Every structure is written in structure tokens, then in C-alpha cells.
Chain A
């Protein structure tokens, strides 16, 4: 066991059992999976991406490149989680990745021997030829060896939520700088959101020995969070990573239930936050910069900052004999803390030739061996066994089982660069810093290069004050907090120059110094080219540990400075975000709401089958017992309408109320035909175009009174037409006095059709005389009441071709109306029908619908050219007159009948000259809608044909290669049934 006897922010009274790679272990509440694995002496937790080298735990934070593990099994299986960020819970099951057959022995580790052949760019060079090998050989092998981790195959059973929040000040990171900034702004009264990725806020305060205002760091953090949580205008978000800036919106993911085996009841697994702050303070801290040397990926090599966290926060040590290889004072402090915790410190190796006197003195007092001006030349062992140190006295081998490294501090500036900002190299701080963050953002603490605790706190207070003042709050002057901590001075050190072994620059994508050499030699000298050629920084860790070393080495090889070499572009997300969080509730049936018609439950009781039209669920047909298929049902429904009476809910049509003295004039401008002449009490069918001359929508508009009109649109275009009309009124013709409102939801509308329709309607109308043939002729509209005082609008319209009415009542009476019609029509055998019968009857009548109004047809194409007025301007008129759109060889609207009446006509069939081969050149057109007509007893279709109605009477070849079908058809008028329209006038 590597658990220290004392200390740590863990709860030793709450042991937790967990499994890793099939073996059972124990940890404590407060542990991460990583700290618990270290406590159990588990050294190898994963295999590397390309060379399958054994890898251990490198860090204690979200920058971890190595310790990627899979969690849980079954539907909640989740690959590529960082063991350093996984909170331990009882029963946690974790697995190593990228290893076959086991973590200890991996067959693919043979790749290391092939390394001279699979260096940078090997994909581009190797898999080029012969071409035939690609599908047969290369692709299966490449796919099998690519990637890290395997995604679960079952649907995710958990819920994910999205939240939008507004605040004055968003503070990112709850370390010393973030907490002081948040407190300063919150005390001034500002609305503050503070987010931290850890479950325990405090950042490095929980890992380092510092004093703020008389409290030790962890105590200060606890008190600060308690105060913030007590303020009503402050929201503290723990386990929350702010991962990107999208314009002025900050995106964050809160892991609400990730630390539990199963999320709590009624709680989501994760929440996606969209935070819109007025000011932002980035206090994301800094991480230790790794050093590149051969064997720097051996399990046991760890960043100094990570080691400090494991010792102080988790009371574990990754080794019993630890050496330090660092170029800054902070790492010396860690060495002293390790010694104090009873760990054997084998040596402190510092490339700097001189060191501060007090550090040297303390090392001497503690009896620690120090090697100045020295470097670690190589790390040995499949898990770390020894290091070779090259100093002024030559090279020696020191036996260690852990090595803490730090080449400096690397500020977490990623978010500050999400607006394509580029950081500058600051030689004094040895760090990339951002001087121009996105608008409204200030950077505080170590993220701004303030590595010492006093400077860190001061910058928190300063940025918090400025943010609050910017938001209009006044900030009382507070006494300066006395801080004490260790020195953070040092000089950046990137790379040990040697020709030996594998020296890794990017541990996640297995990029070595040799790969950078190859890239430079082959001319990839731009940092963006280097990234793409070698995959440097392209792993899931976004190169947090590798980018700076990579560009420092590139700078050295190309004889440029780091500043001149530049960085790659920083892009969201800061850390990986699950698809679940991004999708939220928008999946399956929740992707969009399902709209139900006013008669939905009535239809359901009658056993209707439903279909989706747009967002609506409409009755498709009403099967009766004994009917063998939908066609039999639909044909019965159609015959009933044609012989007696039927009814269908048409409430889904868009309904728009238009009022004002100029409505007639307005309609003249949006419809191709004239409406201003329409008398009160009449309705008219109209066609609307887009400005490019194509048909946009059709429907009827009725004039209810001198200044009130009601328009219907097709179901699917209801929203589009409404916004189009608003555009026309507000942008094109604001001088017209017209007001409009959508009343689609307010009115239920049922179409009643058939020779007996009037008799049935008269039974429910309060004034039966109002619907007499003379009182309400074809295309008439009247406002009356039905069912004993329920206001109603009755329109004499027919889509079926039979005597027909549409009856509209307030939506809440829709079901009552349906029941009343069924009761009134019982003696006539009234038959409820669905969208299939509706479609069959409209094809029999040759009416156009969605398949014909497909955005590529003009009003002439659909056979309604005569409707278009020549006397007025309307939307689309000018461009509809373009030569290409009036060409008489355009596809025109026709009817299609099979010569052999047994043939089934289907939408999508193409038409060719008889006997002509099926080539694109011979194509004459296609069938857009087709049905097995109940009325005619055979299939009919409508469609578009070159030359249009001129070809009526011709015989053509109908060709359907996809579903099979090659037969002769005759072109006819699309009006198959009652072409004179006598039946609607009776």
C-alpha cells in the first residue's frame, strides 16, 4: 500500500470498494480513481495510442494524457474518461484501454520495434499503393488499430439537461484567484456564477501549503465557498467545466451524476450550461510543464504538481524512492513536502546551475541530495526502476520508482484564445500569456502568470473589483489579505538533448522528438503543418501538456524564437464533452414536440392509425375488424365519401386571421390571383409564389366581413407562410394597414364531404337555412353557430370532389363536433377517414399537394397558369416570366393511367418514349403522386411531363428500376373524376 499514514482531504472512515481491470481494490471517500489506484500500487493503467507502451498516471488533473480508462459496463459504459477526474464511488468498475490481451502484456507493443517505419507521416507514405490493397488490407488493419477506447453500443439510459443562465460576473476556476475575485464582486452585490471542474472547490489551495489571511489554503477555500453559497445572487457550480466560448455565450458542462453509479432519481447525468455573463474572470490556474527526455512516459514519471496533490490532498505516494527533475523553485517545495511526509527523496536534479540559498539550505538540513546543472538523460524500466542523470561529474544511474518533473508553469489560457486570440511568449515568466482576451474577459491568478500566492490573490481582488465596477456596483475597499507560500521562480526547461530512445513530446498521440525532426526535415516548419503531420496536440487532451514543448523544440530545430514560431489555434472544447450533454433532451420523440389534433383522442378511440405530417400526428386511416390491409380500409373510406358521407379533421392547416382596410390589396400582392374583389361571405383558392417565381404554398382565403379575412395554408408551410406574410407587411409594404394573427391552434376544423353532407350538417346547425344550397353556394363562407350556440365558421369547400363543407369551431369543441357529426350522420353511414383517403380522392380529382409544390414548380407547371393575374404585381411575378420558366418544353402537370389496368403506378416512376432505352437523355418526366383509385378501380397517377397537357393521349414507357416495373401508360388529364365539378354544386 502506498497510502500515507496521515493527512489528506480524504475520509478514512468511509472506505469504498472498486474494481479495475477485473481486480478488486479499496479506496476512501474523497479519492479519485487515480489516487485510489496509486494507493493500491497499480502502476500501469493504460496503453499508448500508437506504440502501445505501458502508461501510468502523469497528473492529478484534467490535463491527464495517459490515464484514460473506460467506466462502467452495459448501457452506461463510457470510454476515455480521465482517471484523475473520476471521483471514486462504491462499486465503481473501470477498465484499461487500448490493450490486448491485457494491460500487462499487449500484443501491439510490437509497434515499438517498427517505430522507424511508422514515424510521422507514415500513413501518407505507406498506404498509398497498390490501390487495390486499400480496401482489402490497409483499411481493416488501420481501423482496428486506430483510436482509443470503444464506445458503448446500447442507448444511453440517462437524461441530460440544458440550462441557460445570465449573470454579471462569471468566474472560471475556484482557486485562490477565482475565489477572491468572486468574493470581491459578490460582496459588492453583483450576480456571480463561479464554476470549478473539481467537486471540491479550492484548486491548488487543496494541494499546496499556503496561508491566506491567517487560514491555511484548504480552510480558506472552504470558508470562501460557504460565504459565496450563502449569498442569494451567487451560484456555485462544482463539477462544472467551462469548455468553450461561443460569441458571448460561455458553454459549461456540469457532471451532476457522474460521481454516482446511477444518477439520482429525477436528476440528469449531466447539464449543459449556456452562461451569458457581462464580465468574465478566467482563473483557470496553471499546470506543471513536462520535460521531454527518453523514457519520460514510463509509469512512475509524474508532474511535480501532480505529485504534490497526491501527497497533500490524497495522502498517497506513487513511489517509495522519488527523485525530482525540475527547473523551478516550486518543485523543490514539493520535494521538501515529500521528505516531510516520510517518503525517501533520492535526489533533486535541477538544470539551473545555481539555486536560491534558502532552498539549498533546507535541502541540506533535510539531508537531500541535490544535483545542480544536471539533467535526467533517460528513465529506465517498463515501470520506472532507475534514471540516468548527466551532471558535471558525468553520468550516473540512480534507482528510483517515481520521478517528479516540472519544466515550469503552463498557464491555462485556452479559453482566452477561443475567439482566435493568440498568446505571446513571456520570457520572464517562461510561459505563454494572453494580452488581449475576448471582450469582457479578464485573466487572474496563475492563468495570468501570477504564480506566487500573494500575486495570485491580489490579481483576484483586482479583477473582481473591476468586473463589479464595470457592471455598475461600487466596491468597498477591503484590507489586503496577508498571504504566504513558497517561491514559484524558475526558468522554462523543455527538452534534454540526446539521441537515445523514445522521448515523448505528446504522450497521448505518441509523438516523439524524432517525429518532429522528420517533419522539419521534410519541410513542415509551420506549427500548424507540424500538428497535422505528426498529430501533435490532436489527442483528446488537446495538447495541454504537449503543445508548448512541441513548439519549443520546433523553434529550436528551425532556428526561430518561440514567439516567432507561434502557436496553433485553440479551439473548444477545453476538455471532452459527451454527446449526451450536447444533445440534451433533443432526441427520439423529444427532438421536436408532437402536436395532436383536437380530435386525436376521439380518433384513437375509433382505432385510427396515425401518421406524422410535420410536427402533427394525424389519423391516417380507420381500420375495421376483418380488413386485411390499409388499402382495403382506405378504399372503403373513399367509397363511403363518394356514395354518402365522410369526415376528416383538417385542423392542422395553418389558419391566419387578417384584419384591416388593406387586406384585399395585401392579398393581391402575395397571391398570384386577385382577392380584393372577393365579396364578403365568399372564399377563394389562391396560390402564393416565392420571389424567384416558384410556387411556395396554396390554400383558400375567405372574407368574413369587410375588414376581416381568414386564410388557410398547407399544414407543413403554416409557419413559413406566416413569417413570410409578416416580412411582406413589415419590410416590403409597411404602409399597408393590415394586422394578422395565427389562429391555427384556436380553431378546430372538420371537413364533411359526400352527397349527404348537407343533410348531416343541417342536423347540427342552429340555423339549417344558412347552409342551404342557395344561402351557402360553392365557395361560400358564413359565421353561424352549431350544436346549440357554439360559434362556428362554415366554408363550402371541397378537396374530395364531393359536396363538401369545412366546419370550424373553437378548438375546445373539436371533439364534441366530431361526435355530433358522427351521431347526425349515423343514418347515412358517415365514415371517418384519414390522410390516405384524403390523398386518394385528391389524386382522383387531380388537385396538387406537397409532392407537386416541391419548390421547383411554377404556377404554370402545376396546371394553374390561368389563375395568375396579368393586371397586377405580386410576389414572384417578374421572375416567373423568365424565359426558362415559361419554356413550353418545361415539365407540365398531367394524369397517368396504366394501359394494363393491373399495373401499379408509383410515385417516383420515370417516363420515357415507348421502346426507348432508359437513359437520362430519354427521360421525359416523372410521376409525383399515385394511388390505387377506389373510384376508378385501378391505379392512377399525376406527374410532370415534358410538354405537359399537349401530350394527352400519348402512350409512354413507365420505368421503375428501383422497385421493379416497366410498363405502358397513357397520358391523360389529371382530372380523373368528375372533371366538370358537378358533384360539388349539388
Chain B
């Protein structure tokens, strides 16, 4: 499986490590329901059959965290963006 790293170009998946779901955002710790929100953020995951957003770390390359859209049925990679760009936009 190749992942098209925006910094390094298409590289073999062996260079990357997968962290997990990238759909959640770290909740506001000051919010009233912070406990519930953090529980959901840390433990609850969708398990989609189809397109799925995940965090991948290019540890053997540019060390960038990437937000990767991958199809869990076909393993096709649809989009790869740098986490920094993704979060800022």
C-alpha cells in the first residue's frame, strides 16, 4: 500500500505508523460536560465500512502526522493532508 505523503511523495506504508481515528477533536477541558466529551473522544469510534479518516505518522520519513482518508473495504487511499494544514484550515 502506498501513501502519498504531501511532503515526501508516494511511499510504502511500512514507513508509516497508524494511530487511529482522525474524526474527533480534543474537547475543551473547561466545558461543563468535559468528562463525557473526553470519554467519547478517547473511547468511542465509528467502524465504517468505506471511507475512513485516520492519523498516520511518517516516522521513517518526514515525521509529519498525516490525515489520511482510506477506504476500509478496498484499502484505496483517497486523500492525504498534512495535519498542520488540516487543523489550521
Residues of A that sit less than 8 Å from B by CB: 164, 246-249, 274, 276, 419, 439, 691-692, 719, 723, 726-727, 730-732, 734, 873, 877-879, 881-882
Beta-carbon contact of A723 and B57 below 8 Å: yes
For residue B34, which residue of chain A has the nearest CB? A878
C-alpha gap A881/B17 in the complex (Å):
30
C-alpha gap A249/B77 in the complex (Å):
14
Beta-carbon contact of B19 and A727 below 8 Å: yes
User: B1 to chain A: which residues have CB within 8 Å?
Assistant: 246-249
User: B19 to chain A: which residues have CB within 8 Å?
Assistant: 727
A879-B57 CB under 8 A given contacts A248-B2, A730-B84: no
For residue B28, which residue of chain A has the nearest CB? A873
Residues of B that sit less than 8 Å from A by CB: 1-2, 12, 17, 19, 26-27, 29-30, 34-35, 38-39, 41-43, 55, 57, 59, 63-65, 74-76, 82-84, 87-88
Choose one: A247, A730, A878; the contact of B65 (CB below 8 Å): A730
Beta-carbon contact of A731 and B55 below 8 Å: yes
Closest chain-A Cβ to B68's Cβ sits at a distance in Å of: 13
Beta-carbon contact of B88 and A734 below 8 Å: yes
For residue A882, which residue of chain B has the nearest CB? B35
C-alpha gap A247/B29 in the complex (Å):
40
For residue A874, which residue of chain B has the nearest CB? B29
Closest chain-A Cβ to B86's Cβ sits at a distance in Å of: 8
Beta-carbon contact of A873 and B42 below 8 Å: no
Beta-carbon contact of A276 and B2 below 8 Å: yes
For residue B29, which residue of chain A has the nearest CB? A873
Beta-carbon contact of B59 and A723 below 8 Å: yes
Choose one: A247, A732, A734; the contact of B26 (CB below 8 Å): A732
Closest chain-B Cβ to A319's Cβ sits at a distance in Å of: 50
Choose one: B42, B63, B76; the contact of A691 (CB below 8 Å): B42
Beta-carbon contact of A727 and B55 below 8 Å: yes
Closest chain-A Cβ to B13's Cβ sits at a distance in Å of: 8
Beta-carbon contact of B83 and A734 below 8 Å: yes
Choose one: A248, A726, A734, A882; the contact of B57 (CB below 8 Å): A726
Choose one: B42, B59, B63; the contact of A879 (CB below 8 Å): B42
Beta-carbon contact of B30 and A873 below 8 Å: yes
For residue B65, which residue of chain A has the nearest CB? A730
7 nearest A-B residue pairs (beta carbon): A873-B29, A247-B1, A878-B38, A730-B65, A730-B83, A247-B75, A731-B83
How many A-B contacts if CB must be within 8 Å? 60
User: A879 to chain B: which residues have CB within 8 Å?
Assistant: 35, 38-39, 42
Beta-carbon contact of B29 and A878 below 8 Å: yes
Interface of A is mostly: mixed
User: B34 to chain A: which residues have CB within 8 Å?
Assistant: 878
User: B43 to chain A: which residues have CB within 8 Å?
Assistant: 692
By CB atoms of chain A within 10 A, which of B41, B82, B87, B88 has the most?
A: B87
For residue B87, which residue of chain A has the nearest CB? A734
- A-B contact list, 26 entries, CB within 8 Å: A246-B1, A247-B75, A249-B1, A249-B12, A276-B12, A439-B76, A691-B26, A691-B41, A692-B42, A692-B43, A723-B59, A726-B63, A726-B65, A730-B64, A730-B65, A730-B83, A730-B84, A730-B87, A731-B83, A734-B84, A734-B87, A873-B30, A877-B29, A879-B39, A879-B42, A882-B35
Closest chain-A Cβ to B16's Cβ sits at a distance in Å of: 11
Q: A419-B74, A878-B29 are in contact. List 16 more A-B contacts (CB 8 A).
A: A164-B12, A246-B1, A249-B12, A276-B2, A439-B76, A692-B42, A726-B65, A727-B57, A727-B65, A730-B64, A732-B26, A734-B84, A873-B29, A877-B29, A878-B34, A881-B35
C-alpha gap A732/B19 in the complex (Å):
14
By CB atoms of chain B within 10 A, which of A164, A719, A734 has the most?
A: A734
For residue B88, which residue of chain A has the nearest CB? A734
Beta-carbon contact of B2 and A731 below 8 Å: no
C-alpha gap A731/B20 in the complex (Å):
13
C-alpha gap A248/B10 in the complex (Å):
12
For residue B35, which residue of chain A has the nearest CB? A878
C-alpha gap A164/B74 in the complex (Å):
22
User: B2 to chain A: which residues have CB within 8 Å?
Assistant: 248, 276
Closest chain-B Cβ to A419's Cβ sits at a distance in Å of: 8
For residue B26, which residue of chain A has the nearest CB? A732
Beta-carbon contact of A731 and B65 below 8 Å: yes
By CB atoms of chain B within 10 A, which of A419, A439, A719, A873 has the most?
A: A873
User: A723 to chain B: which residues have CB within 8 Å?
Assistant: 17, 57, 59
User: A877 to chain B: which residues have CB within 8 Å?
Assistant: 29
User: B87 to chain A: which residues have CB within 8 Å?
Assistant: 730-731, 734
C-alpha gap A877/B74 in the complex (Å):
38
Closest chain-A Cβ to B64's Cβ sits at a distance in Å of: 7
C-alpha gap A247/B12 in the complex (Å):
11
C-alpha gap A879/B35 in the complex (Å):
6
Closest chain-B Cβ to A876's Cβ sits at a distance in Å of: 9
For residue B31, which residue of chain A has the nearest CB? A878
User: A727 to chain B: which residues have CB within 8 Å?
Assistant: 19, 55, 57, 65
C-alpha gap A692/B43 in the complex (Å):
9
Beta-carbon contact of A691 and B55 below 8 Å: no
Closest chain-B Cβ to A670's Cβ sits at a distance in Å of: 13
By CB atoms of chain B within 10 A, which of A164, A419, A878, A881 has the most?
A: A878
C-alpha gap A200/B27 in the complex (Å):
64
C-alpha gap A249/B55 in the complex (Å):
22
User: A248 to chain B: which residues have CB within 8 Å?
Assistant: 1-2
C-alpha gap A276/B12 in the complex (Å):
9
